[in-house]
Structure 1
Amino acid sequence: MSDAVGRVAKVSAPPSSGESTRNETDYTYFDNGWAKTSTDTRDIRTVYEYDNDGRQTKRTLTGAGGSPSRTMTTAYWPDGSLKTRTDAPSSWPPPAASAPPAPSRNWGGAPNTPTC
């Protein structure tokens, strides 16, 4: 299904194995055509943010009912190459004191020199 200007507005895929509900994802866009949000059948919502050059700088996934959520951020060097990428929960500490910490990854380094 497409929106009024021909962008993908909905993707509908066959049900997953053992399920009867189709897997559908709805998309919204900024006026300039960049993806703004996507929401799937299970009400998992993704919100996208960009810098002025159109590079994605933030992606926030929110579970059904509004939580939990996870935010991935990306920064770039002036030449456009990847500077850092961080993937971490947006709420910390975890609700249960005995819960193990959620993984957090930060990739970064000098331009064109990946570090892990």
Structure 2
Amino acid sequence: MDAVERLRRLCIDDPVDDAADDPGWSDALDAHTVSLVRIGALIATDAPAASMRSVIDEAVTAGASLQEIVAVLEGLIGDVGLPRTVAAAPRIAAALGHGDDLVTDAEI
């Protein structure tokens, strides 16, 4: 199924049934890029720390660097706002193993 057909089905709330077996992004985006997009989505939706840890782990496994993850945070400030971005930063720091040296316990 091509991208236009996938988009059409999403527009009519009829997602592709075989998406679990053949996700549409698999041929268009690599795991590294998908993981950075997912981090951005979690920041935008104010996801809990457990979700953030899971996706950060996937991102690091896929080769995402600290610089790239911080760039995602910084890149979202204009879209989701500084307060939401700042609220996500301690969860990301903790998921990366930097929670103790960057933030206080009250912030995590």
Given the two structures, how large is their TM-score scaled by the length of structure 1?
A: 0.27
More strand, by proportion: 1
Larger Rg: 1
Q: Which has the higher contact order (CA 8 A, sep 6+)?
A: 2
More helix, by proportion: 2
